[in-house]
Chains A and B, each alone.
Chain A
Amino acid sequence: MKRTLVTGAATLVAMLALGASALQAKTLVYCSEGSPENFTPALNTTGTSFDAARPVFNQLVEFERGSTDVVPGLAETWDISPDGLTVTFHLRKGVKFHSGVNGFKPTRDFNADDVLFSFNRQWKDDNPYHKVSGGAYDYFSDMDMPKLLKSVEKVDDHTVKMVMTEPNVTIMANLAMDFMTIQSAEYADYLLKKGTPEQFDQIPVGTGPFSFVAYQKDAVIRYKAFPAYWGGKSKFEDLVYAITGDATSRYAKLKKGECQIMFGPNPADLEAIGKDPALKLMSQPGLNIAYWAFNVKKPPFDKKEVRQAFSMAIDKAAILKDVYQGAGQAAKNLIPPTIWSYNDKVVDYPYDPEKAKKMLEEAGVKLPLDIDLWYMPKQRPYNPNGKRIGEMMQADLAKIGVNAKLVTYEWGEYRKRLQAGEHMTGQLGWTGDNGDPDNFFFLLGCAAARPGGQNLSKWCDKGFDDRLNEAKKLTDKAARTKLYEEMQQIAHDEMPTFYIAHSVVFEATTKNVTDYKISPFGRHEFFGVGLE
């Protein structure tokens, strides 16, 4: 009897273990860092929310996983008119929406109505969904879509014509961004009739590789592979986001196999992850820049010789070593080297405090000089410690007779005051949205130099700005590249901004994860990933 019991128990344990491992092989768990605001990317601005919606949706055009290249999505092909004003999209046929989510059963395939709905919700006040869920379409507005769009029309069920007010080659990259996600017009109608339109943003229905199953706030999001996905079925069955706010806990879960991919490892854990035979550490230069802007509206920063001198006074290598600790790359241009048109011929200013001091004196600056130096009050992907960088700069400046007073504010207040131009010098940074050089260079353009604009140097250079505007209208990539290269040289010579660094992004997975790719945009994408 006893033996039977033992054997029975052993069999049960073995069966459970087998069941568990079979289950694990078909489930991918991603330890994410936070809860999404909702599942409609057009309403959101955070990577966390975009990551949560992405498995469910597609865009007309998309970024190839792990790159900044724009590839066909729900639009199979597109034509651009010779004047660059009209884009005609030819939509993919036979694309299915998820069925059975929230009681909704689609009666038709994806078509032009869904595209129009997705534009109009953000664009037109009279769209019944325009005000639903707060209706703040920040990206749509930031990417200048209301100004840029003249009309979006349905030619037939599988053709959509978009007319713009001016030629803009960055439009395709913009359309690949999350905010231009295509949602189901039929589902929207269904919920409107049911009287629960807000569910549209909470229980998502899309055309993507995974359909939504359930979301428990601050705990877990569940998806399952969509068998009828137009791009083929996922290599694993269930996708689970285990929301784990603390990086150390995420690492512990990864180590224990409770998740297979984790968001943002702690810099302090990187070495241990790298050495762990059960884990994989991946890294890639981030699509970002940390910079220190000189406000050219405030003397002596109106003189370019002064700005150049300041650039020579800072020991950039020491900042990289001390603050970035190997997870950064010294920057000499505004764009990171991973973006096309990067001008590698630009020679960065050397660290030379002697010469810097001499140049200041030659420029008529009376030493000692008192300035302010605004440092970031919080950590960002491109800047691990604004205060420490500020202190190092302060020490470097003291060597050339400049007394820098360190200043900071609460994060929202800090940005507002910088954009208003209250500072003499100040730190900030940028993370790219769409991989187009324009998405970085506009930061030094004249339009952004207005009070409240994002050009923190308030520098407006005609040569630079003309090229910036010209490049937006050209479809020829080589011609655009030439303009952007010239702009990098101008910005180097004029030095409105001291470029600090591009940070390196790290991601960790367990060994059995295959084909996971780090996204230059900091996205987390799981379609195409395999589990061994």
Chain B
Amino acid sequence: MLSFVLRRIALTVPTLFALSFLTFVAIRLVPGDPIEVRRGERGISPERLEFFRHELGLDQPVWKQFLDYVWGLLHGDFGVSIISQDSVLKEFLTLFPATLELSLFAMAFAVIFGVPFGVLAAVRRGSVFDHGLMGIALFGYSMPVFWWGLLLVLFFSVTLDLTPVSGRLDLIYYFEPVTGLMTIDSLLSDQDGAFKSAILHLILPAIVLGTIPLAAIARMTRSSMLEVLEEDYVRTARAKGLSPFRVIGLHALRNALIPVVTTIGLQGGTLLAGAVLTETIFAWPGVGHWLIESIFRRDYPALQGGVLLISTLLVLVNVAVDILNAVINPRIRHGR
């Protein structure tokens, strides 16, 4: 088992190296550099442009810049944001908890609803319920995040006045972040109503971000369940006279979950892509919105560092999923 884990982790190193190289080159291929972008209609004199390019090291050959960057990385230095002049790692660590909290809630929402929906649809295969549910799942999968988010805000926040429009907490509450996770910090702060406010602020963004994973999980659970329900051991279980709940819940679902767990892991990437838009609509101060801003402003260090840090996390999530799969399924573990 240990050798499997080590092998799996070793494989991530070239992936991450290739990723840093690609990000590094790609952002430099986009026209416009950070200094020109900053300048607006005023333009900049060639002398000043040269001066600032030199200050930022942008006048060096790209390969040299890349080597410097990698050298920094090996020393734990992700660079300094050109825009805010703050350390990229610090900015990332400040903003990441917001994205993490949102993603966890979104994923919880997707799993809590997605798995039962998938199971029900599989059990009642071909029924109106099945078709209806899968139709809705397809709709959810193809819905534009931006449109869906605004629709929910207009209905639940503006018309029904049930949830706040955006942000992470009512502005009447104020405390210094401890963990960066608002649900935990609000409890630690001991301020009345802060926790409720944090939860209320999470509901809509989590639904919006969790919709696509929910649809994917529901569909995967359904198809996997259908396959498993045809297996001999399920028929045997039924023949033994076990209750339908035990047959489906214990014997079938456990086996059907293997591809579902993989799907959940793969949805990590989807969550992050969705977070960019969700964070924009809900003014959620996370890394998705930060990365987009970095692209617009050509903040090379922030973008390079941010993408690398996020990719590392995604790769680690995938490794964790592989390991989890190996735990659930001994055939993988033993390379059979």
Contact = CB atoms under 8 A, between A and B. Distances in A.
Interface of A: 16, 20, 23, 27, 29, 34-35, 37-38, 45, 133-134, 136, 138, 141-142, 198, 201-202, 214, 216-220, 222, 240, 242-246, 248-249, 252-253, 255-256, 258, 380, 409-413, 415-416, 419, 428-431, 452-454
B45 A452 contact: yes
B10 interface: no
Given A218-B95, A218-B290, A413 B43 contact: no
B280 A138 contact: no
Contacts of B38: 45, 136, 138
A214 to B, nearest CB: 7
A248 B280 CA distance: 11
Given A245-B289, A256-B161, A415-B43, A219 B48 contact: no
B101 to A, nearest CB: 13
A214 B94 CA distance: 14
A246 B161 contact: no
19 contacts: A16-B193, A27-B172, A34-B293, A141-B48, A216-B285, A218-B95, A218-B285, A218-B290, A220-B171, A249-B150, A249-B166, A252-B153, A256-B157, A258-B164, A410-B30, A412-B31, A412-B33, A415-B41, A419-B43
Contact of A249 (B168, B281, B285): B281
Nearest to B150: A248
Nearest to B33: A412
A456 B193 CA distance: 58
Given A198-B85, A252-B154, A415-B36, 13 more contacts: A27-B171, A45-B42, A218-B289, A242-B283, A243-B285, A246-B281, A246-B283, A249-B153, A410-B30, A411-B37, A412-B298, A413-B31, A415-B41
Contacts of B85: 37-38, 133-134, 198, 201
B335 interface: no
A469 to B, nearest CB: 20
B36 A416 contact: yes
B285 A246 contact: no
Given A133-B85, A219-B285, A409 B31 contact: yes
B165 A253 contact: yes
A45 B40 contact: yes
Contact of B157 (A27, A142, A214, A252): A252
List the 9 closest A-B pairs by CB distance, nearest first: A412-B32, A218-B285, A412-B36, A219-B285, A244-B283, A410-B31, A413-B31, A252-B165, A253-B165
B285 A45 contact: no
A425 B281 CA distance: 38
Given A249-B282, A253-B165, A452 B43 contact: yes
Given A37-B84, A217-B94, A242-B167, A23 B172 contact: yes
A219 B158 contact: no
Contact of B41 (A252, A253, A255, A428): A428
A219 B36 contact: no
Interface string B177-195: 1000000000000000100
Nearest to B52: A136
A217 B167 contact: no
A452 B46 contact: yes
A253 B282 CA distance: 10
B240 interface: no
Nearest to A452: B46
B174 interface: yes
Contacts of A242: 166-167, 171, 283
B32 A411 contact: yes
B70 interface: no
Contacts of B293: 34-35
B207 to A, nearest CB: 16
Nearest to B161: A256
Interface residues of B, number: 52
Binding site of B, secondary structure by majority: helix, strand, loop or mixed? loop
**For A198, A201, A416, which residue has the most chain B Cβ atoms within 10 angstroms?**
A416
A158 B39 CA distance: 36
A302 B29 CA distance: 36
B169 to A, nearest CB: 9
Nearest to B296: A411
B239 to A, nearest CB: 55
Nearest to B192: A16
Contacts, number: 134
A268 to B, nearest CB: 12
Contact of B95 (A27, A217, A220): A217
Of B36, B41, B174, B285, most buried by chain A (CB within 10 Å of CB) is B41
B83 interface: yes
Nearest to B172: A23
Contacts of A413: 31-32, 36
Contacts of A138: 38-39, 42, 44
A249 B283 contact: yes
Contacts of B283: 218-219, 242-246, 249
Interface string B292-305: 01000010000000
Most A CB contacts (10 A, CB to CB) among B85, B94, B165, B167 go to: B165
B165 A258 contact: yes
A429 B41 CA distance: 7
Contacts of B45: 452
Contacts of A218: 95, 283, 285-286, 289-290
Given A248-B150, A256-B158, A37 B33 contact: no
A20 B36 contact: no
B82 interface: yes
Nearest to A133: B85
Interface in B36-63: 36-46, 48, 52, 55
Contacts of A246: 280-281, 283
A136 B52 CA distance: 8
B336 to A, nearest CB: 48
Contacts of B281: 246, 248-249
Interface string B238-280: 0000000000000000000000000000000000000000001
A355 B33 CA distance: 45
Contact of B171 (A38, A240, A428, A453): A240
Nearest to A241: B171
Contacts of A219: 167-168, 283, 285
A248 B290 CA distance: 19
Nearest to B91: A217
A256 B60 CA distance: 52
B137 to A, nearest CB: 27
Contacts of B177: 216
A179 to B, nearest CB: 12
Nearest to A43: B85
B32 A410 contact: yes
Contacts of B84: 37-38, 217
Contacts of B33: 412
Contacts of B82: 134
Contacts of B171: 27, 29, 220, 240, 242, 258
B228 to A, nearest CB: 44
Contacts of A198: 85
Contacts of B167: 219-220, 242, 244, 258
A72 B246 CA distance: 82
A396 to B, nearest CB: 25
Nearest to A202: B86
A198 to B, nearest CB: 7
A264 to B, nearest CB: 14
Contacts of B165: 249, 252-253, 256, 258
Nearest to A222: B174
Nearest to A249: B166
Contacts of B83: 37
